[in-house]
Chains A and B, each alone.
Chain A
Amino acid sequence: MKLTVDRLHITLDRTPILRDVSLRVRKGDIVGLVGPNGSGKSTLLRAVYRSLRPADGAVRVGEDDVWALSPRAAARRTAAVLQDAGGNTTGLTVTEIVALGRAPHHGLLGRDGAEDHRAVTDAVDRCGVRPFADRDYASLSGGERQRVLLARALAQNPRLLVLDELTNHLDIRARFELLDLVRATGITTLAVLHDLDLAARLCDRLVVLREGTVVAAGPVLEVLTPRILAAVFGVRARTERHADGVIRITYAARPLATDDTDDEVADESLQGRAGDD
């Protein structure tokens, strides 16, 4: 289901966080939201999964404004994997956490039925969660946890997937596995990604935010130009599609700013230095 963000303004404690932000995610596309820390990426996502009411503008999933839908109706369309997402789930097994994804499909009197069981089983299998399905969430590795949360989101049976730093703190293999999982779902996705290389790898299109406004949007190669990488991220770099079809970014050893750079230049091989903190 397509996502339309239309002239969105968001203010937190009288500080404007997002100003006049518009973007579109076409049905089936994966769009990456990139930008420096504090540029408003997570805030934009919050407006999409209906956690933060915008001061002005609209978020539409399909044809409907999310704020015109009930919380549950909105959650039947949009699922999110967030950074806080583990919560305080001590005592719930992995399967029980995945089953939380069925909550929007039930009212107070709803009992689990065959469809719930099927959705949970399917999500558990698709995300490779089966081997630790009966374990406690707290005992899992970072990569396993993220797969559980992705499975929870899939159990929601959503039309739109919202991902906030899905692959943060994970080793490289776990990152690739998760991204492949997301790709394989075929669900329309808006993903905040810190790591530009991963963003280039996963996404069909990118939207670049800086200080609460959109500064570029479009296909990866058109967006990650040397000019934008310099202006927004403060690095000298170029982006190319390599022979294997993968888009890679090559960073110059020395960032643009001339101060505080000594510890940044150790690695001359130029790979994977996309400000992942």
Chain B
Amino acid sequence: MVVAISIGAVDVPVGDVWKIVLQHVTGVGAAPSDPALDQIVWNFRTPRVILAALVGAGLAVSGAVLQTVVSNPLADPVVLGFSYGATLGAVLVITLGGGAALAGLGVPAAAFLGAVAAGALVFALGRRKGRMAPARLVLAGVAVGYVFLSATSFVQLQATPTELRTVMFWMLGSVAGAQWDQLPTVAVVVLVTTTLLSLFGRRLNVLLAGDDSATALGVDVNRLRAVLLALSALLTGTVIAVAGSIGFVGLMIPHLVRLTTGADHRRLLPLTALLGAVYLVLVDLLSRTLDRPNELPLGILTALLGAPFFLWLLRRNKGLD
């Protein structure tokens, strides 16, 4: 992380980064020699790198849980419609500007509400007679996603070119706007939900055995699905709200961990969080260095960089045959 902080449009020596961060965290040490450097490191880069780590962890954990909840390896926050819900919320605020601002909603709040609304819809529509069958859940998610996507496209048609550019940049995701004051909320949500979800690790394992067997193993599958769905909607909504809709991390990172260290969720979820965090910090680092001083949206790079490695791993793994 320190290295990621040190590199950017202006390179700061790693040693100076340490000094600045230590000085801010502990209040000891010499005041920075260069106020501009201090500004870059502490006010721009540090929150940005922390946010990237939190967002990466959140998306990856959410994907891992959703894949098990709907017993579908393709599941992630995008497939289940959460991301499209968030996108609609964000796009509405961006294009309606004044109107939504009057209602007191910023882009993050609207995106969060959109994701949670999508989660609630999937939950309501995927349930029949109190049972949440995996296939029905995932199809409900896809359908809800399409509805939100259509609505988003319709709103975009009414938008001005400037708004469209903002929308597009938001949809591809970025942590460039990271600010200290938004970090505590995101950090608390990501850490608390990830911890809770990890506590459900054993039951998530049981869910892999199939619904009837899981029931016979003492798990109330419908209640467990409801709880897990709610937690992952909350988690996804929170990170998408601040970073935009970043694809692929939620799909790929969990599989990457599964393929290398197995599917036991008690191990899988913490490792997935860690790898998701590292991955998005790296991708963010590349996004602001590949084309210095311009920045590329994260959504472009997550898949472009991750997919080849993922495909390589997929082809050499025997367990999937």
Shortest Cβ distance from residue B269 to the other chain A in the assembled complex, whole angstroms: 13
Q: Is B71 an interface residue (CB 8 A)?
A: yes
Cβ–Cβ contact A92 & B218, under 8 A: no
Closest B-chain residue to A53, C-beta based? Answer: B130
Q: Is A258 an interface residue (CB 8 A)?
A: no
Contacts of A87 in B (CB 8 A): 71, 208-210, 213-214
Q: How far is the CA of A80 from the CA of B219 in the complex (A)?
A: 13
Cβ–Cβ contact A136 & B208, under 8 A: no
Cβ–Cβ contact B210 & A51, under 8 A: no
Cβ–Cβ contact A80 & B216, under 8 A: yes
Per-residue A-contact encoding for B204-225, CB less than 8 Å = 1, 0 else? 0110111111111111100000
Contacts of A76 in B (CB 8 A): 218
Q: Give the size range of A's interface with the partner.
A: 35 or more
Contact (A49, B208) CB under 8 Å given A92-B264, A93-B262: no
Contacts of A104 in B (CB 8 A): 217-218
Q: Give the size range of B's interface with the partner.
A: 20 to 34
Among listed B37-45, B100-108, B195-203, B238-246, interface-contacting one: B195-203
Q: Is A186 an interface residue (CB 8 A)?
A: no
Contacts of B203 in A (CB 8 A): 103
Shortest Cβ distance from residue A152 to the other chain B in the assembled complex, whole angstroms: 8
Query: Which chain A residues have a beta carbon within 8 Å of chain B's beta carbons?
Result: 46, 49-51, 70-76, 78-80, 82, 84-93, 96-97, 100-101, 103-104, 106, 108-110, 136, 138, 152, 156, 162
5 closest residue pairs by CB, A with B:
A91-B263, A75-B218, A87-B210, A104-B218, A80-B216
Contacts A87-B209, A91-B263, A103-B206 known; 12 new A-B pairs at CB < 8 A: A50-B216, A71-B218, A72-B218, A82-B213, A85-B213, A87-B210, A89-B209, A92-B262, A101-B217, A103-B202, A138-B321, A152-B209
Query: Which chain B residues have a beta carbon within 8 Å of chain A's beta carbons?
Result: 71, 199-200, 202-203, 205-206, 208-220, 258-259, 262-264, 319-321
